[in-house]
Amino acid sequence: MKKILLYQELIDYFEKQIRLGDLEPGSRMPSIRKLCHSHKISKSTVLSAYGYLESQGVIESRSRSGYFVRTLMANTGQHTTNFSGQSAAPALVTPSQFVIQLMERGAAFDLIPSNNTEEDNVELRRCLARACREQTGKEQSYYDSPQGLVELRDQISRRQKIQGSPVQSQDITITSGCQNSLLIALMATTTPGDIVAVESPGFYGAIQVIQALGLQILELPGNPYSGINIESTSTAFNTWNVKALFLSSNYSTPTGACLSDADKQALLSLCIQHNVTIIEDDIYGELSFELNRPRTLYSMDTTGAVILCSSFSKSLSRDLRIGWIASSKHKEVIRRLKVVTTLSVSKTAQQGLADYMSRGLFERHIRKKRILLANQCKQLQQLLHDELPAGTSWTSPKGGLSLWLMLPEHVDTTSLYSKALEQGVTITPGILFSAQNKYQNCMRISFTHQWMEERVRAIKILGGLID
């Protein structure tokens, strides 16, 4: 524990020095040897602290010269570290009830939820209607099997294999959305009181589910661009008995961060070494702006350490409420828990979706959606550049549905939420994405919808409120 305290104290010390201006941008950081001698600490402790500060964009390493305070840029889409005196080291916490209250007020993936201008997916509606017309009396009278429709599982398996992830149809269970998959995965691998690690900032839905199951939450610091910090994760696993790790390795919400293949391999090896089950939420993986989507942790695993969860809610339709969970190791208990939590999923909806996929319509849809989202993301970043005040920065995701907006420290997005709501604008405050009341000056903004006049006006309203 002493090493953990020294590691965090070193981070806090240098963050304060930089924030107060005692260490100016461009100035050289103390040498590793000097710190080891003056603080009587090990080289690995200093390297861990410097490694974390570098991952957060606070300092930078220069070949054969040492470490230097980074010159931070605002309004360029580059990350600026949130120096708010909040601990970035892993800490056991309990989710705040305030998060639930904010969710009940309607925060969503749209600044103007009532102004939907999206085109209807006519092909999807036709496939669903066809499945409904062809439904037999027998199908109306009986539940679907616990594992789900075999035709849909085959389509999911086929698509995953094409994308380099060998998910077997017999290892897939159809669920009522990704949140249901997450619930089942946690129930299958943990018991009340266990510690579950989550990336921070991370998905607020995961925090709520973990709390509801009587589990402890361990927040692990992440980089808004590159994802969860491997060094801090290793430190946490050596300190606490972590049972499971929940994360989105590809375009996570709220930041849009994507782990590199090298970090995925390192994280997988670390979890296997410490017997930690990875619950991977790949709900955004399909939404890559690139031609080929990034690999999943599941595709790299040969031990059964990863449970893969996903759904069609972000890539196709939120109203479908069809998700899936894949695991060769836990598939039997997953099926039993599926019956306990939801009994079954609409067989007609599954048939319609399987038909839609078998006709190649999903592939056509997702190619179009990727181009649209990439353009809308660029448009959003230009709007932020034009309308928000100096001292604001944001991430530049390569996929997903949202980016992470980092405002000047004096801005409280929880208060901003209420003021914006009075003018018909809905924002998602940063406090939702942590159980530690962190990220008060941050918020998530989605580029899911087209930037028509009303949404452009909403950004201008935010700019005025912030300024």
Q: For residue range 429-467, what is the model confidence (pLDDT) as tens digits?
A: 898 898 887 899 999 999 998 999 999 999 999 999 987
pLDDT tens-digit map of 147-185: 899 999 999 999 998 888 889 999 999 999 899 999 999
Rounded to an integer, the average pLDDT of 260-265 is 95
Rounded to an integer, the average pLDDT of 390-395 is 90
Q: How confident is the model at residue 60 (pLDDT cuts 50, 70, 90)?
A: confident
Residue 294's contacts (CB-CB under 8 Å, 6 or more residues apart) are 249, 250, 258, 261, 285, 288, 399
HEC readout, 54-74: HHCCCEEEECCCEEEECCCCC
What gap in Å lies between CA 429 and CA 442, rounded to an integer? 7
Of 125-129, 135-139, 165-169, 307-311, the range with the highest mean pLDDT is 307-311
pLDDT tens-digit map of 326-374: 999 999 999 999 999 888 888 899 999 999 999 999 999 999 999 999 9
Least reliable range by pLDDT among 59-63, 83-87, 98-102, 288-292: 83-87
Question: What pLDDT shows up at residue 105?
Answer: 47
Q: How confident is the model at residue 245 (pLDDT cuts 50, 70, 90)?
A: very high
Q: How confident is the model at residue 409 (pLDDT cuts 50, 70, 90)?
A: confident
Whose structure tokens read 């801090």?
A: 232
Rounded to an integer, the average pLDDT of 285-295 is 91
Question: What pLDDT shows up at residue 168?
Answer: 94
Q: How many residues can be counted in the chain?
A: 467
Q: How confident is the model at residue 294 (pLDDT cuts 50, 70, 90)?
A: very high
Q: Is the pLDDT of residue 116 over 50?
A: yes
Residues 195 and 240: beta-carbon distance below 8 Å:
yes
Question: What pLDDT shows up at residue 407?
Answer: 93
Rounded to an integer, the average pLDDT of 30-51 is 81
Of 131, 129, 123, 126, which is closest to residue 152 (Cα–Cα)? 131
Least reliable range by pLDDT among 14-18, 116-120, 278-282, 316-320: 116-120
Torsion angles phi and psi, residue 383, rounded to 5: -60, -45
Q: How many other CB atoms are there within 10 angstroms of residue 257's CB atom?
A: 26
Question: What pLDDT shows up at residue 108?
Answer: 59
Q: Is the pLDDT of residue 102 over 50?
A: no
Q: Is the pLDDT of residue 82 over 50?
A: no
Question: What pLDDT shows up at residue 87?
Answer: 39
Rounded to an integer, the average pLDDT of 249-256 is 94
Whose structure tokens read 């997903």?
A: 400
Q: How confident is the model at residue 86 (pLDDT cuts 50, 70, 90)?
A: very low
Percent of the chain residues topping a pLDDT of 90: 50
Q: Does the pTM of the predicted model rise above 0.75?
A: yes
What gap in Å lies between CA 111 and CA 376, rounded to an integer? 14
Of 279, 108, 95, which is closest to residue 179 (Cα–Cα)? 279
Question: What pLDDT shows up at residue 61?
Answer: 78
Rounded to an integer, the average pLDDT of 302-328 is 92
Question: What pLDDT shows up at residue 139?
Answer: 67
Q: Is the pLDDT of residue 305 over 90?
A: yes
Q: Is the pLDDT of residue 271 over 60?
A: yes
Least reliable range by pLDDT among 98-102, 118-122, 184-188, 357-361: 98-102
Q: How confident is the model at residue 2 (pLDDT cuts 50, 70, 90)?
A: very low
Helix, strand, or coil here: 207? helix
Q: Is the pLDDT of residue 23 over 50?
A: yes
